[in-house]
């Protein structure tokens, strides 16, 4: 868990790769659905572009399908989900149904000013969605597929402000919910070299 721009995607990739487990990012699944023009993508787009959350029922249906697939069997990491208390409750019910549980919740924390700074310079590939390395040159192309890099529409300053409000109002209560649950919850500082942040997360989950 963590606010927009905390590095959930970067760290999620590193941690899932390190332990050889599947990573499920609700944001990535929704963006792929939009690129592919599916009904899910069309349903989600107006919420995403406004910086609002996609309705809980849509997200829970999507994650039930993802987690029930064979890929989740060897272990999984959830990135950007759950984002509301209703989603956390829905996830608990879903995990019980499929006889799985969460080992750990990690919250990556970054101050608002740093988030606004990061997101205003973040660039992503319009074709495959990969995030460009920080500081790559303006006219660089995607390192993964050669596609054109651009700003994510929801990284525009007004939308970032709204996403931060949504995080504070709707997602931070999820941290209180986990703090009261049996699942261990650890907060790590998300600022610094990505390898250092990764080491803090590993220390938290193995500690």
Active site residue 162: no
Shortest reach from residue 92's CB to ligand AMP, in Å: 15
Whether omega before 169 lies within 30 degrees of 0, making that bond cis, reads no
At a CB cut-off of 8 Å and minimum separation 6, what does 207 contact?
none
Distance CA 108, CA 147 (A): 30
Residues 63-92 that bind ligand AMP (CB under 6 A): 80-81, 83, 87
Cβ closest to ligand AMP, residue 7 vs residue 198: 7
Residue 33 to residues 43, 75, 131: CA-CA distances in angstroms? 10, 24, 17
Q: Which of 31, 83, 118, 123 is catalytic?
A: 83
Residue 65: closest CA among 50, 81, 49 = 81
Residues 157-196 that bind ligand AMP (CB under 6 A): 163
Q: For residue 122, indicate whether it is catalytic.
A: yes
Using the contact rule CB under 6 A, the part of the chain among 24-32, 130-138, 187-195, 197-205 near ligand AMP is 24-32
Decide: is 119 part of the binding site for ligand AMP (CB under 6 A).
Answer: no
Q: Which is nearer to ligand AMP, 150 or 199 (CB)?
A: 150
The DSSP code for 94 is H
Note whether 4 binds ligand AMP by CB under 6 A. yes
| Cβ-contact 2, 109 below 8 angstroms | yes
Based on the shown chain and the rule CB under 6 A, indicate whether residue 107 belongs to the binding site for ligand AMP: no
Q: Which of 8, 14, 31, 118 is catalytic?
A: 8
Among residues 47, 66, 147, 156, which is the contact residue for ligand AMP, using CB under 6 A? Answer: 47
Phi, psi of 73 (to 5 degrees): -60, -35
What SS3 class is residue 107?
strand
Q: Does position 30 bind ligand AMP by CB under 6 A?
A: yes
- Which residue in 106, 108, 115, 154 binds ligand AMP (CB under 6 A)? 154
d(CA 10, CA 13): 5
Sort strands 124-125 and 149-150 into parallel, antiparallel or unpaired: antiparallel
Kindly state whether residue 59 participates in binding ligand AMP, applying the rule CB under 6 A.
yes
Please confirm, yes or no, whether 31 is among the known catalytic residues: no
On the CB side of 119, how many CA atoms lie within 13 Å of its CA?
A: 26
Cis peptide before 82 (omega within 30 of 0): yes
Does 11 bind ligand AMP (CB under 6 A)? Our answer is no
Looking at the annotation, which residues are catalytic? 8, 83, 122, 152, 163
Write out the residues near ligand AMP by the rule CB under 6 A: 4, 26-27, 30, 47-48, 51-54, 59, 80-81, 83, 87, 154, 163
């Amino acid at each position: 868990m963590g606010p927009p721009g905390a590095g959930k995607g970067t760290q999620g990739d590193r941690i899932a790769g390190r332990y050889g487990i599947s990573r499920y990012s609700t944001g990535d699944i929704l963006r792929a659905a939009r690129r592919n023009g599916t009904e899910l993508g069309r349903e989600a787009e107006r919420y995403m572009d406004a910086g609002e959350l996609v309705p809980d029922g849509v997200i829970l249906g999507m994650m039930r399908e993802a987690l029930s697939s064979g890929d989740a069997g060897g272990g999984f990491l959830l990135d950007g989900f759950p984002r509301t208390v209703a989603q956390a409750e829905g996830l608990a019910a879903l995990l019980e149904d499929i006889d799985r549980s969460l080992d750990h919740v990690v919250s990556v924390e970054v101050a608002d000013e740093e988030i606004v700074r990061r997101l205003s310079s973040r660039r992503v590939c319009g074709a495959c969605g990969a995030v460009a390395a920080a500081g790559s040159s303006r006219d660089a192309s995607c390192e993964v597929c050669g596609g054109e890099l651009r700003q994510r529409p929801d990284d525009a300053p007004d939308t970032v402000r709204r996403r931060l409000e949504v995080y504070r109002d709707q997602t931070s209560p999820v941290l209180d919910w986990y703090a009261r649950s049996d699942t261990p919850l650890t907060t790590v500082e998300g600022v610094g070299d990505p390898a250092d942040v990764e080491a803090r997360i590993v220390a938290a989950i193995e500690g």
